[in-house]
Structure 1
Amino acid sequence: MGCCGVASCEEFCRELKGIVVVEEPARGLGIRVAYSLAWGKPVSELDPGPLRAEEERLLEELKSRYSLETLRNDPVVRAYRDFYWRIGIDPTKTRPSSEALVRRALRGRWPRINPVVDAGNIASARYMVPIGLYDAGQFQPPARITLAQGGEEFHPIGGDPERLEKGTPIMIDSRDVVMHLYPHRDSRETMIRPETRCILILAAGVPGVEQTRLEAAVREVQRLLGLLGWQSCSELEHA
């Protein structure tokens, strides 16, 4: 977005509409998203302390609501699993990211990455919605959610580059950088870095998941980032 600076990121709040677009081939799969922006001090300068109480509260909530045996019966978990089957992914082998987080929480293995990613993970587990966080200085809008033509190169976080098969749901920017395999894998090219100061927050929806849940998940990320001293756009957008 060319908005690495806080001031320019804030200016983009007035131009939220169109930063993310769901194109017709992906819309036909029932894909829809809610998104907004947030900004503040570099990630490396943030104190994660305010999130620790939030993590403890979340873990208590999850353990009172679910067990490893009953989790798969949750209707939201079921919706994402059904979507995975539809796009050719076995969700018993590759878990939806939100479900994977809850499973880790129930096993007492909650991950801590950095304060911004941690905020996204808390919101994702609380609302059972996959949430993507992207360094807004590392992509050029619009970010288009579409289906791969086949052969696009993807650089996953923690993995080797790979060529994509035709029909894979992806999010790709105007420079053809593949930012995301929808709705479960992010690219290291647009990942949150120590110097990141402005981010795109995106809640990934599928058929059977209400728009209000996506909105609430984005708002929860914004609230948690507010505890870290970050600011956010007052508005959300949908695509």
Structure 2
Amino acid sequence: MNINPNKYFCSIEAFFTRIAKGKGVPHINPVVDLGNAISLKYTLPMGAHDLGKSSEDICIRLARPDDTFLAFGGEKDETLMCHKVTQKTTDSRHNSVMIDA
């Protein structure tokens, strides 16, 4: 993809930067709006998935020793530390890190 991850903020950073610049919170739909309100109140990233549009199951769990993650703009798999909260679809080879702490 050849994208510089330092040039683009993650979603929660972009969201708070938008608020700090006085651009307000856009209305998307009631579920996204609720997630945005919770993100603002608790400084906590929130996300939602439309499970009706996914043909795969989504699993949220602690990472396992053999789990890998492909960073945005990355070319090489990274191994996840076992305490990371991750989400994965049933057919996906990679995980998405949900809490990077």
TM-score of the two chains, using structure 2 as the length reference: 0.56
Q: Does the aligned pair in 1 maintain the 2:88–2:96 contact within 8 Å?
A: no
- Match runs of 1:1-239 below 5 Å: 89-90=5-6, 93-109=7-23, 110-137=25-52, 138=54, 139-143=56-60, 146-148=67-69, 165-167=76-78, 171-176=87-92, 181-182=96-97, 204-207=98-101
- Mapped to 1, the partners of 2:16 and 2:87 lie a distance apart of 25
CA displacement, residues 30-59 of structure 1 (integer Å, 9 cap, x when unaligned):
xxxxxxxxxxxxxxxxxxxxxxxxxxxxxx
For structure 2, the 5+ residue unaligned runs are: 81-85
Higher RCO (Cα < 8 Å, 6 or more apart): 1
Cα RMSD after superposing both structures: 3.4
Percent identity over paired residues: 28
Contact 1:99 1:128 in 2 (8 A): no
Distance 1:141 1:115, change over 3 A: closer
Q: Which has the larger radius of gyration?
A: 1
Q: Given that residues 98 and 125 in structure 1 are in contact (C-alpha distance below 8 angstroms), is that contact kept between their aligned partners in structure 2?
A: no
- SS of 1:171's equivalent in the other structure is strand
TM-score with structure 1 length normalisation? 0.28
1:150-188: CA deviations, max 9, x gaps?
6xxxxxxxxxxx98631176732112286x743xxxxxx
Letter of the aligned partner of 1:119 in structure 2? L
- Asked if 1 retains the 8 angstrom alpha-carbon contact of 2:59 and 2:87, the reply is no
Q: Tell me which residue corresponds to 1:228.
A: none
